[in-house]
């Protein structure tokens, strides 16, 4: 049997030239292939650098993103705070922007809690002037507003997952604010009336309930007066 010899480089090049002439293959310059490879390598290098970036740089970037997501609140002349995103802070924002202008117009925020920082705003001197000194932030309600026009201290619990003004919580709050020179008003706030249903059996009598989806109305749980201290 006659052995076939391998085609020479010149003959292969001639065959490919013929293929290119009839459009079966496309000629590509070597420089283009090198440039494409270099660009691909560069992209991979960038991806690798991002993946192995300095942890401090990544932490700073994440911090900037979280700062952009914070909820800004204007508490009065010269007082602006930013709440952490998420949790019950969405409801706290609605209490301050929707409930307070309707039911405590011109009221002075004394304390505003925060999901991640425990509290976003606190004026202990003002609270002390009303006869109340609070040591443990963990026991103070989510929002405390002094409605100076009627001298009420409105204590609001913002409920998204737990913590309505139950009989036990009512007793705790009365003890915590026992020295108050202002009358105490207890409010449980919900995002929706449907959210109230889950805690309906836990709400203490002689307290108020407010739902953000019907901001013009409140539900009064018995007692001799509506929205007032006892």
| Number of DSSP helices (H) and strands (E) in the chain, helices first | 8, 9
pLDDT of residue 66: 42
In terms of Cα–Cα distance, which of 143, 145, 147 is closest to 156? 143
Name every residue whose Cβ is closer than 8 Å to that of residue 211 and which is 6 or more positions away in sequence: 189, 190, 191, 192, 193, 195, 196, 217, 219
**Ordered structural domains, the chain, with CATH:** 9-51 (no CATH), 70-220 (3.40.1350.80)
**What pLDDT score was predicted for residue 162?**
78
Q: What's residue 182's pLDDT? A: 97
**Consecutive 10-residue runs of the chain (230 residues): their mean pLDDT?**
60 67 60 50 54 54 45 57 70 92 93 78 93 80 94 95 91 95 97 94 95 95 73
Give the pLDDT of residue 52: 54
Alpha-carbon dihedral angle through residues 119, 120, 123, 124, given to the nearest 10 degrees: 20
Radius of gyration of the chain (CA): 34
pTM above 0.75, yes or no: no
Between the alpha carbon of residue 41 and those of residues 33, 48, 49, 50, 92, the distances in Å are: 12, 10, 12, 14, 50
């Amino acid at each position: 049997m006659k052995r076939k010899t391998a085609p020479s480089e010149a003959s292969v090049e001639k065959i490919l030239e013929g293929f290119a002439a009839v459009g079966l293959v496309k000629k590509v310059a070597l420089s283009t292939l090198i440039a494409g490879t270099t660009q691909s390598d560069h992209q991979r290098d960038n991806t690798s650098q991002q993946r192995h970036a300095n942890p401090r740089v990544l932490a700073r970037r994440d911090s900037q993103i979280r700062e952009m997501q914070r909820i800004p609140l204007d508490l009065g002349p010269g007082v602006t705070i930013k709440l952490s995103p998420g949790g019950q802070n969405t409801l706290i924002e609605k209490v301050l922007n929707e409930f307070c202008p309707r039911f405590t117009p011109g009221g002075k925020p004394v304390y505003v809690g925060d999901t991640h920082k425990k509290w976003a705003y606190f004026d202990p001197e003002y609270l002390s002037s009303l006869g109340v000194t609070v040591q443990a932030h963990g026991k103070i309600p989510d929002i405390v507003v002094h409605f100076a026009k009627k001298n009420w201290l409105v204590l609001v619990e913002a409920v998204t997952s737990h913590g309505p003004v139950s009989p036990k919580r009512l007793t705790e709050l009365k003890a915590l604010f026992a020295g108050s020179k202002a009358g105490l008003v207890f409010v449980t706030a919900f995002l929706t009336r449907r959210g109230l249903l889950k805690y309906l059996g836990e709400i203490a009598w002689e307290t108020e309930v407010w739902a953000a989806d019907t901001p013009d109305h409140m539900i009064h749980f018995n007692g001799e007066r509506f929205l007032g201290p006892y």
